Chain A
């Protein structure tokens, strides 16, 4: 036990050294230096209010953690760059404590094929650190090659991204915009000011996990377009997307057709589209639709934990969303998101947000996530999540 504690302390010390050195470094950083460092430290206080199963009494639990991100780019030569990202979290709330092996869950969810977890230690107080970016980038004229753990973000639409085959994003995961990386090879050749042709393949342990896709992007008549084709798991995928405007209103969309090669999985089709508009005073509106053919459309699906992938971006067949952000003052921003799916339980996802800029690099956010739907006691709130987040960027 003692050695475990020592081990923990040693790791904590290591993290503190990394932290303090990056802060000192970032303050004395020179322009055009070979190494570029930035990141943030966040403190999160969460409150979950939910019942484990229908009919069971509701419970309230806390989630508390510190979250540190360190991005380090090393410009080795004019053509070669190494880019990396380290994500470290220290959990000390109830949410992580009541889930045995929570650290292992984080390791599983955060890694691709290669295990790049540096620290996974403790239960009551859990320290978890993972390298979520580590890749070499080679560029020569219009060619760019990246090898290693990287984010391949192919989305062109705003909220839902059926083209995002390498790393689907769920908007409920508000504290990890960076998303885990894929262990992959990505080759891009750029054409013109907004076009490219590219190919990406992800590492795999068995052939059922292959994701290997080609993507072609081009710009025509003030629209960006993209077309993709390849393999994703057991599917042959064909997809595309667009981003342009009708008059002053932004108009975007994305679709993917998943042709299953397996008897166990059905074919699937997902399409989404959205319009966005910004008023003169800075108030921003976006509204859109998702059709998700692969959804089983079950009324009691869980928005916080469903099997997320590009072929299944939301647990219901049809969903519509509206989101707005309002600059209340130059320092205070309000936001509100609303998603509704027309199934029997009439599920509504609501997310009010309020952010305040305390100083140039210090922000505080209040984020709410509420699910309303039919439950044991009639229609009403089934799960509520609130977070208070403080973020210092460096």
Chain B
């Protein structure tokens, strides 16, 4: 029995001489939240259009719940699309319909009898926290509320898959958090499979369990998010995408870094800890055991896909081989970024 909601197999798409997707393969299991990230022009939109059957790949297969959508005739595509909920960056709500009317549209399209719609609409409005707003017009709502309507509309026909196209890119940081929380909640409560297409690493970090990194139409990473974040080496594209959300050595300090250890100086290291180790008071343990001082300069401990994950720039006095060995037990990819000589 195939448990994958989505199976993308060797998909390629060309536009003239430009290769938008090049032999892309990945799968999404039921209940997973997959983040697809890439810079603009990496092929995200092409992938999305193929997944939504708005565009057909030149080669390869895309299976949604085991059905190959690349070969389905138009008539069956229409019913298949109703199994996919879409959430758009710019909400795409109809200004000519009220909030309730917008949520009603997919129900009308799917042929849900008129008598059954109000109950379903009320349930969806409650799910996204807009129970009182059903009679408002989209123009009267804030961006976050509009996106909630967009999500309710996408969920109307109990889709097997929710495709979010830059769903939070047009929202302010607070609203982004609220919308991501809502998506995570829907994922938990309905067991819904979600694909998030985004250029924001922060979005991925917060809720994606799996991550696909696209670059120039090719997949450069495809693994659980935590594994990619904690990996010793990442592709340059991934590193570039990650750097915006990763701690950096403060510029004033970076100017003073030297390669060789200096007496009475500090070592600047970058340590990443996944899982339980991230919660442990490792630095005070280090101080007690070796009599050195250590402090976090940048970074902290967050959750990635529900798992604790620490990514920190730490300064340590009296850094030596024993300390290095002690720390690499917890983080084999630990990096010594340089040393700061003591001020004279």
Decide if A and B are genuine partners. no
List B residues at the A interface (Cβ < 8 Å).
Answer: none
Residues of A within 8 A of B (CB): none
